[in-house]
Amino acid sequence: MKRYKFKAILQATGWVDDAKVSVNDDGLIMQISSAGSTDDAEIIDAFAIPGFQNAHSHAFQYAMAGLTESHASDSGTPDDFWSWREAMYQLALHVNPDQMQAIATMVYAEMARLGYTNVAEFHYLHHDPSGRPYDNLAEMGSRLVAAAQTVGIGITLIPIFYQKGGFGLPANDGQRRFLSASIDDYLSLYESSQAACQHYSRASSAIGVHSMRAVEPLDIVRLAEQGPQDVPFHMHVSEQLKEVADSIHYLGQRPVEWLLDHAELSARFHLVHATHLTEQETTGLAHSGAHVVLCPSTEGNLGDGLFPLSTYQAAGGQWSIGTDSHIGINPLEELRILDYGQRVSTHKRNIFYHPDQTDSGAYAIHMALSAGRKAMGNQSDTYLSIGDPANMCLLNAQTPLLSTASAQNRLSTAVYAADASMLLPSIAYGKQTLTDGKYQDICRKFVKTMTELKNR
């Protein structure tokens, strides 16, 4: 049994001050009290809120964070998502399994350092550099699970079905490591990925399709109908204007419009980005029960655009956050960018709002947690109560703004005024994630990998 003493912890019913939390060997909270001796407890001067859920990650892309910002002024070629994608393909063609594990361990450690306790890994770098499957179909996926285990966070491994190079187009050579030719091939990969998850008690699996442009649309419907029904279903959709235009040309409909007409969308679907939607698509998506996963720092970096959040929320839609390419990793920053993008486009300040939750910071944290957990396959809405996993994002109670904020203003102070220095490494499943030189060792292996790749 492990015992911690916090300045306060956040439960669904509000803050518990001077909370002593007892955690069993399985990482579950067994007792919470605000009185009694603290002689047997480790004192952490922090406000503990539920650990954040990173609902969309491409771990290997962390190796190229910050490397695509040099723009030739006289090239005549636009620098946009599609040119960035070519740089990403070049990285993907060179990463070996050991390097994948080192990169993923580093980015998962950064997530843990900044308050994430779970990640949904949208994984499509499956095969060897020539495009041949490894003997273990889930070799690369198993390295991602091992990375999460080293850090101590939970992982939902989502092996991705990737089949084509665009609407009606064959895959190109830069995509050769991603491909599964058929649904049967993909399901074999999924079964191997499930097996890889058995090696870590905090690992689970989900179904994923890269996008409507990367898989024949009718195969997406077939997979949704014929594949596992008890796990989440993740997919990129309508991220780019060109993608929408190509869909109209190939299918006669916009991507989400086509999905609403042909697939039985439900709460198990998590559609990533969904940037360019009509009002009818937005409300239809919300009414279907499907969630969206928004990645504000990456969407801003790539020039994707802004999801119509106000319309979606007004129709009852639920959303989570992810860090995608990991150009940004701080969950508080993701929430802030998301809200500010909406404010400057709508000229209103009450975007993170619900009649039952009028505090923007509290609303943002609750939505990111609730919908984020569902993206992991976790349907629970309770947190930091007896019987719950001890998954905590820790806000440093010694920082002046947080130390002086009232309980009522504490969450909005964190979301809107905190920076990374106000965050302490998370506690995941009852254990502190970055202790005893672990972080330094992870950094050393990452630097070695970057030296080998010679891409920085």
Phi then psi for residue 356, to 5 deg, are -90, -10
Whether 273 is catalytic is yes
What the block records as the tokens of 276 is 């360019």
d(CA 9, CA 48) in angstroms, rounded, equals: 5
Q: Which of 324, 339, 359, 366 is catalytic?
A: 324
Beta bridge partners of 23: 2, 29
Q: Is 324 a catalytic site residue? A: yes
Question: d(Cα 301, Cα 244) in Å, to the nearest integer?
Answer: 20
Q: Which helix (H) or strand (E) segment is 449 a member of?
A: helix 438-453
Helix (H) or strand (E) holding 144: helix 139-151
Distance CA 327, CA 168 (A): 31
3-state secondary structure of 246: helix
- Helix, strand counts (H, E) of the chain: 15, 16
Give the count of alpha carbons within 13 A of 206, CB side only.
28
Cβ neighbours of residue 378 closer than 8 Å, sequence gap 6 or more: 118
CB atoms within 10 A of CB 426: 26
Tokens read off for 258: 């086509």
**Closest to 298 in 3D by CA, of 338, 245, 352:** 338
Options 56, 58, 123, 273, the catalytic residue: 273
Residue found by looking up tokens 């309980």 in the block? 407
Cα distance between residue 211 and residue 323, in whole Å:
18
3-class SS of residue 232: coil
- Active site (catalytic) residues: 273, 324
